[in-house]
Amino acid sequence: MKDKILLCLKLLLIVLLIVVGSIISVKVWSGKEEELEAVTEIVIEKNMTIAQIGKVNGLSNIVLKNAFQLQSKEDLQKKFYETGITIEEAKSRIIKSFVLQSEDASKDWKKIAAKFVLWIAFLIFIFTLIRKKKIKTKLRNRLYFIAFVLFGIVLGADPSPMGTIKDNFVLLGSFHVIFPPRVVALFVMLLMVVLVNKFICSWGCQLGTLQDLIFRINKDKNGKPVIAKVKIPFVMTNTIRIIFFLVFAVIALVWAFDIIEPVDLFKIFKPSALGIIGIIFAAIMLSLSLIIYRPWCHLLCPFGLVGWIAEKISIIKIKVNYEKCIACGACVKSCPSTAMEAIIKHKKTIPDCFSCASCIESCPVDAIEFKAGKRQKPTKEILEKLERV
């Protein structure tokens, strides 16, 4: 009972740190993002000049330039009928141009640039530690703590791996436009996944590292779980994740509605944006993180699914050297998910591997490696021994 009370206190302290720290962080960064008033009704008459259309509807020259493909300031004096487009087409172009400008104005580009630079630096540091097999239990937890504080509390909810997919779908469904910087961010993050096995999710994602830390504090002085942990079969979690992704994508593209928005767990790093439903959902998911490894990542995250697919061609990943392996099963037991069991048995379907290096730490014969190249196939003898573990 004492251990359970202590565990609950640890979780509450983490939540309190997030709430208080994020509120302070949002205030510090406030004023650096610009919110534009939404365009509702657009007034256009054939004899208006482009400049008059902008003045009547409160549109900036940037919006007008992109909407009407203007080449110079003199083009602002053109009459609308000279453009050769219909009023409805012009309204559609203006809305799309305005949406893209609004997206741009809502971003603090200095903060975003800083976040990407720090992501890359931090991930290189982690990669070096894993390659040198330096990451042990205490250090791992400290690094997860640093990651969610730095990339979540200090630098905020946005950008995030999930947002690069979720927001693109919603924007495309709502206004039939794509925000180019978000596509670039998605490409960069997927490149990170391909280069080093799902590294942005593993060590960079503010929500992923938070869940990982919560999962790992669920242990007593002897290292045993205070509350029994559960390894849900990957076929079940991935089926749920695929179905959720398809439902989200169809609703976003067809009905222009974001079903993730009310339960967006990344909003815990911007508490004022959490509604009642969001608060309840966050409480459930963070509590589940004590017993289920990264529940948001495995069950609901759109980037988690896409990243899992990209992970199949990752260059650097966890591998087993079967010349050293004694099939003791230590790596399988230490793995917080079912990934290591699938890796060591060379199964066709490998669950998400978050490169936490628990398997490397637990191996008594130094048979687990983090390197480039294809995974070896285990011998029949090794497989038989593993089945008895």
Q: Provide the pLDDT for residue 388.
A: 75
User: Tokens in use for 126?
Assistant: 């982690």
CA distance 211 to 276: 21
Per-residue pLDDT of the chain (389 residues; tens, 9 = 90+): 888 999 999 999 999 999 999 999 988 887 555 555 566 688 888 889 988 888 888 888 898 998 888 888 888 898 888 888 899 998 888 889 989 988 998 889 999 999 999 999 999 999 999 999 999 999 999 999 999 999 999 999 989 999 999 999 999 999 999 999 999 999 999 999 999 999 999 999 999 999 999 999 999 888 899 999 999 999 999 999 999 999 999 999 999 999 999 999 999 999 989 999 999 999 999 999 999 999 999 999 999 999 999 999 999 999 999 999 999 999 999 999 999 999 999 999 999 999 999 999 999 999 999 999 889 888 888 888 888 76
| Whole-number pLDDT of residue 291 | 97
Q: What is the pLDDT of residue 223?
A: 85
Place of tokens 């767990």: 265
Measured in degrees and rounded to the nearest 5, phi and psi for residue 378 equal -70, 155
Sign of CA dihedral 46, 69, 169, 260: negative
Are the C-beta atoms of 226 and 3 separated by less than 8 Å? yes
3.50.50.60, 3.30.70.20, 3.60.20.10, 1.10.10.60: which CATH number matches 316-388?
3.30.70.20
CA nearest neighbour of 349 among 358, 360, 338, 357: 338
Domain extent listing, the chain:
2-30+108-309, 50-105, 316-388
- Cα separation values, 177 from 35, 159, 167, 333, Å: 19, 19, 11, 47
What does the DSSP 8-state code read for residue 270? Answer: S
pTM, two decimals, is 0.92
Residue 359: which of 321, 318, 388 has the closest Cα? 318
| Residue tagged 């992109």 (tokens) | 66
Q: What is the pLDDT of residue 3?
A: 85
| Residues 83, 68 contacting (CB under 8 angstroms) | yes
DSSP 8-state secondary structure symbol assigned to residue 118:
H
pLDDT value of position 228 = 95
CB 58 within 8 A of CB 88: no
Please report the beta strands in the chain, taking only residues with DSSP state E, as ranges in sequence order. Answer: 316-320, 368-372
Question: How far is Cα 266 from Cα 303, in angstroms, rounded to an integer?
Answer: 13
Residue 382 has a pLDDT of 83
Query: What is the rounded CA–CA span in Å between residue 16 and residue 176?
Result: 40
